Amino acid sequence: MRTSIATVSLSGSLTEKLTAAARAGFDGVEIFENDLLASPLTPEEIRARCADLGLGVDLYQPMRDIEAVPAEEFARNLRRARHKFQLMERLGADTVLVCSSVSPLAADDDALAAGQLSELADLAQDFGIRVAYEALAWGRHVSTYDHAWRIVEAAGHPALGTCLDSFHILSRSSDPKDLEGIEDIPGEKIFFLQLADAPLLGMDVLQWSRHHRCFPGQGGFDVAGLVKHVLRTGYDGPLSLEVFNDVFRQAEAGPTAVDARRSLLILQEEAGIRALPAPAAPTGVAFAELVTHDAEPLAALLTGLGFARTARHRGKPVELWEQGEARVLVNTGPAALPRFRLRSRGGTPVDGTTLTALGLESPDPAAAARRAEALLAPVLPRRRAAEDAPLDAVAAPDGTELFLCATNRPELPNWRSDFADVPHAPAASDAVRIDHVALTQPWHHFDEAVLFHRGVLGLHAQESVDVADPYGLLRSRAVTNTDGSVRLPLTVGAAPGDDTAHARHIALATDDVVAAARRFTEAGGRLLAIPANYYDDLAARFEFADGELDTYRDLGILYDRDAHGVFRHCYTHTVGRVFFELVQREGGYQGYGAANAPVRLAAQHAAR
């Protein structure tokens, strides 16, 4: 099916928006009227520009407050419409979006609305234009898709149809039964389909729509379910994205357009329209790679945590540190940093140790790479020697390199073969594996990152959580595989600059966090100091065995409990832009200690 995007979904000038949409692979665009009015190009020049880019002008929008108004007002509306239809002729657009009226002059009179829309369609037909009537969720008298369709049906005009918008429909009701009526609309009378997702928020629907829409798969709506209903009508028009989002309007248009196109590819897969290479979800974390210009502080930290330097890359300044199944690569070469430039809250560049890559165990690295490419995440070119293992890697939206590994598959290339063992003392046995890796995201890539990890890697997105920070709110959403052997909490600040004030971290799973914490401090390591007030509050909330809480207080161990199990964890101090966490899970605890995050963040700010 054709794919289209409304220019209001992207940032920049109209020319920049059109270029971004074409490069991302869209077939067409909806021209938002404000974008045309602000453009120095004539409608003819815009039409030619679209043609040069291979884009069709699928819709011109919006035309507001047309129907069910007094006769003299409707006469003015027809005059306005004539001018718009003449403009659309010059632009090469053959469908106009008419939103249900919000005018205080509009009457609650379906017959009047149908009659006036029919007159409007008569005029449009003279220009070879179709009118797509849409119910705004906050329309004065028409606010549901079925009500809009009844008016269109009553008008009975061949140039008048309806436009279905997933936000306006799903923001009013998520009950599947309320969507079944879509299938009663003849497909040829659905002139256009606009798609948007949104997080589930309890707020005024107009503000929700204007500021918080997102691309399908990034929110909480069942957009794929709605599309399935529409397809059963026989609709064969474009799948078009219309997303009002404050972040998207400020972010670079090119990456946003790619994110948008990826969302439609995944949506088409979920709706059964398009076949994509099946996901090969990662089954574990092979390694985390840290880049540093000064390895000494990091080496001291790793040694204190019980890691041993076990191997060195045969041709690059990269060392392998291991403990149990936890592996950390320390790269001291001139490595590329993520796509965003880390800056402190004051705006100065931040240098130092940073996490730049993850190795993810894959049941089928080649299949995972094929899916990534199909979803517009091309495999990264990799500079390697002839004897190096040919590993595929893709870039996450934040620039983190994700290597697709098969560490324990002898028939497949193994990254470990690139390393030569070095003499070393046995590693401590406290850390069992990498429990999770928390990845701070640039503020304008958060929703994109969630969709990328879910759609490209086949991970599952958990519910979003807001965490209080001394300087604002952090938004966090974890993506995981089915058994929890891969856990990637994605975190972003509430505004530009908030994200880069927070370091990334690697959480190490242990069977005994108290023993691991003691071993670390006895080796000279420093754990993050936690305020005494926190432990006083713990004593009020939970009952502990004699001396247990004192141990936690002495070591800086935090504690959480839910209906499934218990979570104990503590943190090292930060080196550059990275710190480590020791975690112990008991029972079926699946979280990350979110209740303790405000205390941890405050303690880190104090330490900094």
Closest C-alpha among 409, 400, 435, 442 to residue 511: 435
Widest pairwise Cα distance in the chain: 91
Residues 71 and 218 in one domain: yes
Tell me, yes or no, whether 377 lies in a domain.
yes
Query: In this model, does residue 342 exceed pLDDT 70?
Result: no
**Does a structural domain hold residue 510?**
yes
At residue 252, the pLDDT reads: 85
- Mean of per-residue pLDDT scores for the chain: 91
Range of the domain at 147: 3-270
487 and 565 co-located in one domain: yes
Residue 383 pLDDT grade (very low, low, confident, very high; cuts 50, 70, 90): low
**Torsions phi, psi for 299 (to 5 deg):** -60, -40
Do 258 and 288 lie in one domain? The reply is no
Residue 156 domain-assigned? Answer: yes
Question: What are 241-260's pLDDT values in tens digits?
Answer: 999 887 777 788 899 999 99
Q: Which residue in 136, 215, 124 sits closest to 171, CA to CA?
A: 136
pLDDT-derived band at 209 (thresholds 50, 70, 90) equals: confident
What secondary structure letter does DSSP report for 592? -
Domain boundary among 247, 270, 293: 270
Is the confidence at residue 343, as pLDDT, over 50? no
Does residue 358 contact residue 285 with C-beta atoms inside 8 Å? Answer: yes
Distance in angstroms between the alpha carbons of the first and the last residue of the chain: 53
Tell me the CATH number at 91.
3.20.20.150
Residue pLDDT, tens place only, 400-427: 999 999 988 888 878 998 999 999 888 6
Same domain for 244 and 294, yes or no, is no
Could you tell me if 98 and 67 lie in one domain? yes
Tokens 């497909």 belong to 187
Same domain for 176 and 84: yes
pLDDT score recorded for residue 284:
96
Residue pLDDT, tens place only, 210-228: 777 889 998 889 999 999 9
Mean pLDDT, to the nearest integer, of 103-131? 97
Check whether residue 256 and residue 313 sit in a common domain.
no
Q: How far is CA 446 from the centre of its chain?
A: 5
Please write the tens of the pLDDT for every residue from 426-446.
867 777 899 999 999 887 778
Q: Is the pLDDT of residue 81 over 50?
A: yes
Same-domain check for residues 223 and 318: no
Region 483-495 average pLDDT: 85
What's the mean pLDDT in 79-106?
97
pLDDT of 67 higher than 70: yes
The percent of residues above 70 in pLDDT, for the chain, comes to 93
- The DSSP line for 158-183 is TTEEEEEEHHHHHTT---GGGGGGGG
* Same domain, residue pair 116 and 138: yes
Q: How is residue 408 written in tokens?
A: 């324990």
Q: Which residue has tokens 């959580």?
A: 465
Q: Parallel, antiparallel, or unpaired: how do β-strands 239-241 and 190-195 relate?
A: parallel
Q: Domain boundary residue among 240, 270, 300?
A: 270
Q: Each residue of 539-594: pLDDT tens digit? A: 999 999 999 999 999 999 999 999 999 999 999 999 999 999 999 999 999 999 99
Percentage of the chain beyond pLDDT 90 is 76
- Residue at 332 is within a domain: yes
Within 10 Å of residue 191's Cβ, how many Cβ atoms? 24
Looking up residue 297, the CATH number of its domain turns out to be 3.10.180.10
In DSSP notation, 266-316 reads HHHHHTTS---PPP----EEEEEEEE-S-HHHHHHHHHHTT-EEEEEESSS
DSSP 449-490: HHHHHHHTT--EE---EEEEETTEEEEEEEEE-TTSSSEEEE
Q: Could you tell me which residue, 74 or 501, shows the higher pLDDT? A: 74
Domain assignment of residue 277, yes or no = no
Report how far residue 321's alpha carbon sits from residue 580's, in angstroms, rounded to the nearest whole number. 14
Q: What is the model's pLDDT at position 384?
A: 61
Q: Are strands 392-395 and 401-405 parallel, antiparallel or unpaired?
A: antiparallel
pLDDT surpasses 50 at 356: yes
* Per-residue pLDDT reduced to its tens digit, 359-373: 999 999 999 999 999
| Domain match, 386 and 458 both | yes
* Inside any domain, residue 278: no
Domain count of the fold of the chain = 2
Count of alpha carbons within 13 Å of 201, Cβ hemisphere only?
18
361 inside domain: yes
pLDDT by residue (tens digit) across 271-324?
Answer: 999 999 999 999 999 999 999 998 999 999 999 999 999 999 998 999 999 999
Asked whether residue 296 is domain-assigned, the answer is yes
Same domain, residue pair 257 and 291: no
Closest CA to 538 of 601, 596, 451, 604: 596
Condensed to tens digits (0 to 9), the pLDDT of residues 314-339 reads 989 999 999 999 999 999 986 544 43
Last residue of a domain, one of 221, 247, 270: 270
Residues 415 and 546 in one domain: yes
